[in-house]
Amino acid sequence: MDGTGYCGWCGRPDGACPDRAVCVRRRGTDPPRYCPSCARRMVVQVTPAGWSARCGRHGSLGVEADAPTPPVG
Amino acid sequence: MSDVDGRSTTSAQPVDVLARAEAEVLEAGRGLGEGALREVLSLPDSRLPELLDLAHRVRLRWCGPEVEVEGIVSLKTGGCPEDCHFCSQSGLFPTPVRAAWLDIPGLVRAARQTAASGATEFCVVAAVRGPDERLLRQVRAGIEAIRADEVTRELNIACSLGMLTGEQVEELAAMGVHRYNHNLETARSHFSRVVTTHTWEERWSTLRMVRDAGMEVCCGGIIGMGETTEQRAEFASQLAELDPHEVPLNFLIPNPGTPFEHYPVVEGPEALRTVAAFRLALPRTMLRFAGGRELTFGDLGARQGMLGGINAIIVGNYLTNLGRPAGEDLDMLAELNMPIKALNSTL
């Protein structure tokens, strides 16, 4: 998983967010919901100090408490 | 003269609503009625500092200087059969949230994160209409694990598992759940525009059973779901009638895929006016900053809210949304010289 390819907040290909400002804003309020490698919806668990996300094909993204948030695509 | 609800009692000039609130709420500890709350919610921005100052003094007078800090976690995420129009966890809306189930070690880790923030409260939440046997087993096992962990054993545990039967209320009380959250969400007159799969009265019924079982009642809602100013006053009055131990105040996060995804974020001054009005309706109740405050208030607004009637706060992340790091809120409380409620003061 290279962390690029799709926006984690809208699932569109990098550079194709319908409203990039919305995705940037969501980066502050939401963990990524779409796998940045394949755009599948991920299973996400939010905890008080972090979050973890798992893609059925590409595995886990982030680690609780210190999950690095990927850039908006 | 006029009474606390703004009804004229003589032919003299009506007394300003904040002057009335000073006498009735600050001095006598009686919450404002719905009519007066409408006036408060209609005050111009130019009077906001005066309103916030009064709300802060009411909070200090009737609740004291301490701030209760809480962490929350979602035990069962997504796939909910209900249609709460604000919620990204409804299985009826095309939101990106997928169903997830937190295992017991994960729940204890979340409790540890909460304990590390200095919080005294840990609320376990599930996105359900009401708990089934499997969920109650998970809650029971989770509470036992938290109580067996040396880091988390002292935390007060609250739950939010939807609507309950009388038997389930008793079961949760017996597990040691000291507080139960069940939000009415909005005014009774607005509820059917927010939820259609159950009624406001069903929620009220659960809250009464919780109260009768001896658990503390936690009941609040979300501001910014298309309700009018009058309905905000109505909601505050209805909460005052319920007289909960705690009222969490959320501000709508327009989550993608929900029917409310295009609703505007509540603006800061309007949100602060609402916070202060709720304090004037509920002078003795714990009023908690909850979800959406980061988006609505930003850093400066959060400080103003803490100085405008709030005396409790959820730190860290929420159920599906992210908050700001707990340390930033704790630093803010330290700068404001607001002591954090200690565990030994809640036992």
Assign 3-class secondary structure to B49-83.
HHHHHHHHHHHHHHHCCCEEEEEEEEEEECCECCC
8 Å CB contact of B73 and A33:
no
Give B341-347's long-range contacts (Cβ < 8 A, gap of 24+). B341/B66, B341/B67, B341/B68, B341/B69, B341/B120, B342/B120, B343/B120, B343/B154, B343/B155, B343/B156, B345/B66, B346/B68, B346/B120, B346/B156, B347/B154
Q: Read out DSSP for B210-279?
A: HHHTTPEEE--EEE-SS--HHHHHHHHHHHHHH--SEEEEEE----TTSTTTTSPPPPHHHHHHHHHHHH
| In a shared domain, residues B210 and B76 | yes
Q: Are B172 and B162 in contact (CB under 8 A)?
A: no
Chain A: residue nearest B327 by CA?
Answer: A49
Give the C-alpha separation, B148 to B46, whole Å.
Answer: 53
State how many domains chain B has. Answer: 2
Query: Do B94 and B21 share a structural domain?
Result: no
Decide if B280 is inside a domain. Answer: yes
Whether B1 has a pLDDT exceeding 90, the answer reads no
B138 and B44, same domain (yes or no): no
Do B188 and B56 sit in the same domain of this protein? Answer: no
Domain membership of residue B316 (yes or no) is: yes
Select from B68, B73, B134, B159 the least CA-distant residue to B108. B73
Q: How far apart are CA B240 and CA B4, in angstroms?
A: 15
pLDDT at B11: 56
By residue range, what is the domain housing residue A8? 1-73
Contact B119, B81 (CB under 8 A): no
Are residues B44 and B171 both part of a single domain?
no
Is residue B6 situated within a structural domain? no
- Pull the structure tokens for residue B76: 């069962």
Choosing from B38, B60, B82, the residue where a domain stops is: B60
Q: What is the pTM of this model?
A: 0.92
Q: How far apart are CA B60 and CA B29, in angstroms?
A: 12
On whether both B67 and B47 belong to a single domain, the answer is no
Q: pLDDT class for B210, splitting at 50, 70, 90?
A: very high
Residues B148 and B127 in one domain: yes
| Tens digit of each residue's pLDDT (9 = 90 or more) over B111-162 | 999 999 999 999 999 999 999 999 999 999 999 999 999 999 999 999 999 9
Residue B1 lies in a domain: no
DSSP-assigned letter for residue B191: G
Same domain for B27 and B143?
no
Q: Tell me if B41 is assigned to some domain.
A: yes
pLDDT band at A25 (very low <50, low <70, confident <90, very high): confident
The whole domain housing B56 covers 17-60
Total domains in chain A come to 1
| Residues in A touching B316 (Cβ below 8 Å) | 47-49
Choose among A10, A31, A48: nearest Cβ to B73.
A48
How many Cα atoms within 13 Å fall on the side-chain side of residue A38?
12
Most confident listed range (B185-194, B293-302, B320-329): B185-194
B31 and B124, same domain (yes or no): no
CATH code for the domain in which residue B179 is found: 3.20.20.70
Within this chain, do residues B42 and B183 fall inside the same structural domain, yes or no? no
Q: pLDDT of B226-250, one tens digit each?
A: 999 999 999 999 999 999 999 999 9
Using the CB atoms, write b or e for B280-295: b if 16+ within 10 Å.
bbbbebbbbbbbbbbb
Same domain, B36 and B170: no
Task: Classify residue B11: in a domain, yes or no.
Answer: no
pLDDT of residue B5: 56
Nearest-angstrom CA–CA distance, A15 and B127: 34
Question: Would you say residue B42 lies in a domain?
Answer: yes
Final residue before a domain boundary, out of B60, B93, B113? B60
**Residue B39 belongs to some domain of the structure:** yes
Provide the token pair at B336: 């404001």
CB contact under 8 A, B317 and A64: no
Task: Look at B110 and A33 and tell me if their CB atoms are within 8 Å.
Answer: no
pLDDT tens for B50-74 read 999 999 999 999 999 999 999 999 9
Same domain, B74 and B155: yes
Closest chain A CA to residue B97: A33
User: Among partner residues B113, B295, B321, which is closest to A65 by beta-carbon distance?
Assistant: B113
pLDDT band at B347 (very low <50, low <70, confident <90, very high): very low
